[in-house]
Amino acid sequence: MTIAPLPAHAPAADLGDFAIIRRLVHDYMGRQWPALVLAVVCMIVTASMNGVLAWLLDPAIKKIFLDKDVQMLITIPLAIVGVMSLRALTSFGEQSLLNTIAERIVAAVQSDMLRRQIRLDLSAMNAVHSGESVSKFLYDATLLRASITRGVAGLGKELVTLIALSVVMVYQDWQLALISVLLLPVVAWVTQRLSRSLRKSSTRGMEETGVLSRALSEALSGRRIIKAYNLENYAAAATDARIDARLRYILRAVRARAAAVPSTDLIGGLAAALTIAYAGWQGLHGQLAINQFASFVAAMLLAQQPVRNLSQLWTISTEGLSAANRIFAVIDAKPRIVNAANAKPLAIEPAPKGGAVTLKNVKFSYHADSPALEHLSIDIPPGRKIALVGPSGAGKSTVFNLLLRFYDVDSGAIEIDGQDIRGVTLESLRDHIALVTQEPILFDETIADNIRLGRRDATMAEVIAAARAAAAHDFIEQMPKSYETRVGEGGLKLSGGQRQRIAIARAMVRNAPILLLDEATSSLDTESERQIQDALHTLMKGRTTVVIAHRLSTVLDADRIYVLDGGRAVEAGTHGELMARGGLYARLYRHNLNDDAPEPNSLAAAQVN
């Protein structure tokens, strides 16, 4: 799958409100400029019609009530109907177009977020809880949608409406209009103060929403442990604490939004009172005709609504801009594990010559003060099987992480057929490796789809052949829809052993020259393990295989066993050689690797002999 490059920008945390708006327009709205232009035209027409309605009061009173023009009894009502009809039509077009644009923008933003997030290296992905990421995808995107449809778009519409009504007021009496306009800076100041408070509360509220999503995700994913240990009350209390924390910030934002309209109404009422008092004084002195006064007052009263809306819409826009800031922070994140400028596809010779893996004096640390691997050197000839054993934390899984370039070595090098893996493309490197993990990862798709993830273009015949080889075909055929049966969240509709066989079938259909088995048979019973071991022996023929060993059956036939401890290879040899040496491997064998095996002495003797 080819993923198009994302636009490069400065980190969103450095952007101001208007810079974020410019970016939304440039990166997302710009893709839909025809619809956007038409929406703006509809918006301008809709807003202008409010001014036309206010102005029509002038000729209506003058021609009908003062001049007694009978013809105007038909003309002016028809004009009003025409204006209202045009406003209804353009309002529908504006709302329809803007909502379509907003939904498309949100979809594009969510797509860019996922594309960026999924391409980050593991260290960056592990630093953010999946619940918080989901919160940004859903909650922040919803706020962004509201900001576009009601906030930014609404601000434009209300501003045009206010300008049109102001033109009518100035046309009727500029002195009266000046009184109303002078109070607008006060409205702007109040709105800015409330928006600043709302921005802070909204940002913290979004952060708490992410934390709440994390708590909910853990409560649901850990439901078996919660029930087994009677932790329902504890889990509920922990979630309640997060709900309360989020509620505090949301209520602050609610109060800030609620204060916007009354504050504006108070200032607007003061402006109306002053204006009407001055207009009345003018009328008493014959300086203002009744028709002009009626038109002016109508425009002024109509202008109160856009002023109220502007104060409210600005707060909505503020929330959306806070959400956009968090969204752009995700989109702008840069992965550290990337293709080198001159990276070339990995070239592996056909079996049995190709697939040699070499670790040369590798050093690596997840954290600066705790090295995971120190001066580790491993040489794996093409087509051979080696096993990695050692106590927990010895560095076995780290070797797999480095081979797949989930992380890069701090020093030293990893080579495949003499090619430093940092100099080849990530796609080609991972195309040549098949991985089976200790905990099989299945997606809520069909069984066939889960197997086909190993190679997306695999035919159904190849999928079935892989399932047969993994001893999975028989139980799959017994499922309600055979290979088209959905496996449920995480494969919960299948047993642990069934999930593992599906994962092994996925590795088989990949047909990669390098095979990584991370405790691949740990979830299987003895009978299933025998079946899988037969399949794995077939799969490993001609392939370079690295096994993280747990059970005896994954160790005895290894060409070479590396014993890791503290990130170093402290022993290496065959099973028999290591047992005869009586070192760490022999101790681990006796204590950890002989649960389902014959007596170690007889096996050791058999290997030595």
- What local confidence, expressed as pLDDT, does residue 379 receive? 92
**319 compared with 327, residue with greater pLDDT:** 327
- What local confidence, expressed as pLDDT, does residue 357 receive? 93
- What local confidence, expressed as pLDDT, does residue 482 receive? 93
- What local confidence, expressed as pLDDT, does residue 57 receive? 79
| Residue the block writes with tokens 């580790």 | 376
Best-predicted range by mean pLDDT (127-136, 149-158, 262-271, 407-416): 407-416
| Residue the block writes with tokens 């002053």 | 274
Q: Rounded distance, CA 16 to CA 26, Å?
A: 15
Is residue 265 helix, strand or coil? helix
- What local confidence, expressed as pLDDT, does residue 596 receive? 46
| Residue the block writes with tokens 């760490």 | 584
pLDDT exceeding 90 applies to what percent of the chain?
Answer: 17
Instruction: Using pLDDT thresholds of 50, 70 and 90, give the confidence band for residue 525.
Output: low
Q: Which of 25-34, 183-192, 352-361, 575-584 has the lowest average pLDDT?
A: 183-192
216-264 pLDDT per residue, tens: 777 776 776 676 667 778 788 888 888 888 888 878 777 776 676 566 6
For residue 547, which amino acid is it? V
**126 compared with 594, residue with greater pLDDT:** 126
Q: Rounded distance, CA 206 to CA 202, Å?
A: 6
Q: Rounded distance, CA 1 to CA 171, Å?
A: 62
Best-predicted range by mean pLDDT (101-105, 312-316, 590-594): 101-105
421 pLDDT more than 90: yes
Average pLDDT along the chain: 79
460 pLDDT more than 90: yes
Q: Which residues are CB-neighbours of 535 under 8 A, at least 6 positions away?
A: 469, 470, 471, 504, 508
- What local confidence, expressed as pLDDT, does residue 504 receive? 87
Asked if residues 402 and 561 have their Cβ atoms less than 8 Å apart, the reply is no
Q: Rounded distance, CA 481 to CA 484, Å?
A: 5
Q: Mean pLDDT, to the nearest integer, of 11-21?
A: 62
Asked if residues 351 and 165 have their Cβ atoms less than 8 Å apart, the reply is no
**371 compared with 145, residue with greater pLDDT:** 371
Is residue 69 helix, strand or coil? coil
- What local confidence, expressed as pLDDT, does residue 313 receive? 67
Asked if residues 312 and 259 have their Cβ atoms less than 8 Å apart, the reply is no
Q: Mean pLDDT, to the nearest integer, of 183-204?
A: 68
- What local confidence, expressed as pLDDT, does residue 447 receive? 93
Q: Which residues are CB-neighbours of 325 under 8 A, at least 6 positions away?
A: 12, 13, 15, 20, 203
269 pLDDT more than 80: no
Q: Mean pLDDT, to the nearest integer, of 355-383?
A: 90
Q: Rounded distance, CA 551 to CA 523, Å?
A: 11
- What local confidence, expressed as pLDDT, does residue 378 receive? 93
Q: Which residues partner with 53 through β-bridges?
A: none
Residue 177: name the closest of 83, 51, 311, 310 by CA.
51
Q: Rounded distance, CA 352 to CA 488, Å?
A: 40
pTM of the model: 0.69
Structure tokens at 430: 């991972």
- What local confidence, expressed as pLDDT, does residue 86 receive? 92
Strand order in the sheet with 419-420: 370-380, 357-367, 411-416, 419-420
Instruction: Using pLDDT thresholds of 50, 70 and 90, give the confidence band for residue 592.
Output: low
290-302 pLDDT per residue, tens: 777 777 777 777 7
Is residue 563 helix, strand or coil? strand
Q: Rounded distance, CA 158 to CA 305, Å?
A: 9
DSSP category for residue 59: H
DSSP category for residue 405: T
403 pLDDT more than 80: yes
Q: Rounded distance, CA 573 to CA 559, Å?
A: 8
Q: Rounded distance, CA 472 to CA 450, Å?
A: 13
- What local confidence, expressed as pLDDT, does residue 569 receive? 92
- What local confidence, expressed as pLDDT, does residue 7 receive? 41
- What local confidence, expressed as pLDDT, does residue 429 receive? 92
pLDDT exceeding 70 applies to what percent of the chain?
Answer: 80
- What local confidence, expressed as pLDDT, does residue 308 receive? 66
Asked if residues 355 and 546 have their Cβ atoms less than 8 Å apart, the reply is no
- What local confidence, expressed as pLDDT, does residue 572 receive? 92
Q: Rounded distance, CA 407 to CA 403, Å?
A: 9
Residue 604: name the closest of 584, 581, 565 by CA.
581
Q: Mean pLDDT, to the nearest integer, of 521-541?
A: 69
Structure tokens at 243: 């709900």
